[in-house]
Structure 1
Amino acid sequence: MATLETTPENATHWSASKMAERTGPSKSTIGSIWKTFGLNPHRTDGFKLPNDPLFVEEAYDIVEFYLEPPESAVVRSVDEKSQVQALSRSQPAFPMMPGMPEKRTHNYFRHGTTSLFAP
């Protein structure tokens, strides 16, 4: 129950070794228990479609370009947003259930940005 109902201090999810430290059994025993009940504390699930009205059409164009690029073409992908964001979720994560990963809302509050560039 601790895997489903709590999170470790200073961490987002349980690892087998952290859970073993807390409860007593070895980390391999914890892993076996998690496997038996279909628990994967490290997995999260979610996807949010952008609110861009042309998103679907643009997505089709991009996928088609990757699947059938023009002859001798070089395909590069660049993210136009270089900022590292400090953010927090607008709602707490939905708890993990047996056989299901943890789910989180995609809505968040921004607390500022900084840019990170690498050569």
Structure 2
Amino acid sequence: MTFSLEQILQLFAIACEPPADYDRPLSHWTARELADEMLKQGIVESISPRHVGRLLAEADLKPHQSQYWLNPPPEPEFDEKVSDICQTYLSAMERAEQGEQTISIDEMTGIQALERKAPAQPMRPGKPERREFEYIRHGTQTLIASFNVVWV
């Protein structure tokens, strides 16, 4: 069975809306629920969930998936802090000529010290290297790095 472009676009439009807008108690659409909704609205006389899945895949639409993301709130003094840091770096050469050092320091905390329970198996033709997913914990480490901004 073939479907018109309008019918396919209606499927895509429904798939891009929350299921709750269609009185469906779902967090995400499934191909079966989308097929059922198209039948309910009279968009098509029949369509299989499998065909709905193929149409969505061709359009690279994935209504069954979600991904977390977060825009952090803007830091009020961010621009001022960036300006201070840039000014420190810009004046580093002048300060070095006066005998002052400018040191940049950063830290990375909470690095897990893990040991695999078994050694990795080397790759073989047609198979990638295999690593044991189980591990032994040896606490955490902190990495602190620093460097002199100007070498005179």
Taking structure 2 as the reference length, what is the TM-score of the superposition?
0.35
Query: Which has the larger helix fraction?
Result: 2
Which structure would you say has the larger RCO, counting Cα contacts within 8 Å and 6 or more residues apart?
Answer: 1
Please identify the structure whose Cα radius of gyration is greater. Answer: 2
